[in-house]
């Protein structure tokens, strides 16, 4: 099932995908690290509307937020913010970069099927740079000038980028159209 806006495959994967997407944009690999960052990073605190001297969100609150918001609302919120940022930057013609990054699954391989995860059944073995790893791939479409993520697809690591690129191209065009911008070129890395 692929929803409109951000290219998600299933509801469970979409929430995990958004969580990993947000963490990846900041270079964070876990909710624990995100709570530590919220304690020390003033820009991130400001983004999350945490006032000076106010306690940060514990992991349970962040986890609950990701679960309760739901796929459709999350998609709508992100799309609105991306369109708003594109309009604010007065983007007219955009060069988009398509890339995929590997995200390690915190699971071991299944003893009966070496290509799957044991505790994380959706995780698959796929390319992780020069080696292979168990996990997922986050496919991104990014504005080359502002480095603003336009669309994203989250899939198991064994799926090739080519499978998602056409869908991501269409979603990128839709986002740009809503912000009165056009796609000038696509750069695949």
Residue 23's pLDDT is 54
pLDDT averaged per 10 residues, the chain (length 189): 36 49 57 81 78 84 78 79 86 89 82 84 85 87 87 85 88 92 87
* Chain Cα centroid distance, residue 122: 17
Residues 6+ apart with CB under 8 A from 173: 183
Residue 75 to residues 91, 103, 152, 177, 180, Cα–Cα distance (Å) = 21, 21, 10, 17, 20
Task: Report the 3 state secondary structure along 32-69.
Answer: HHHHHHHHHCHHHHHHCCCCCCCCCCCHHHHHHHHHHH
pLDDT of residue 170: 93
Q: Domain ranges in the chain? A: 11-188
The per-residue pLDDT for 12 is 47
């Amino acid at each position: 099932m692929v929803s409109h806006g951000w290219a998600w495959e299933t509801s469970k994967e979409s929430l995990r995908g958004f969580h990993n997407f947000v963490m990846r944009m900041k270079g964070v690999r876990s909710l624990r690290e995100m709570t530590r960052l919220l304690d020390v990073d003033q820009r991130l605190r400001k983004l999350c509307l945490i006032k000076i001297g106010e306690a940060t969100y514990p992991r349970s609150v962040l986890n609950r937020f990701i679960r309760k918001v739901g796929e459709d609302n999350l998609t709508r919120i992100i799309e609105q913010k991306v369109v708003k940022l594109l309009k604010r930057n007065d983007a007219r013609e955009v060069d988009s970069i398509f890339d995929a990054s590997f995200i390690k699954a915190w699971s071991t391989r299944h003893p009966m099927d070496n290509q799957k995860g044991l505790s994380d059944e959706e995780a698959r073995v796929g390319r992780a740079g020069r080696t292979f790893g168990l996990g997922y791939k986050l496919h991104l479409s990014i504005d080359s000038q502002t480095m603003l993520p336009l669309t994203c697809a989250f899939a198991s690591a064994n799926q090739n980028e080519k499978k998602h690129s056409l869908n991501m191209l269409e979603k990128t065009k839709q986002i740009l159209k809503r912000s009165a911008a056009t796609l000038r070129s696509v750069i695949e890395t």
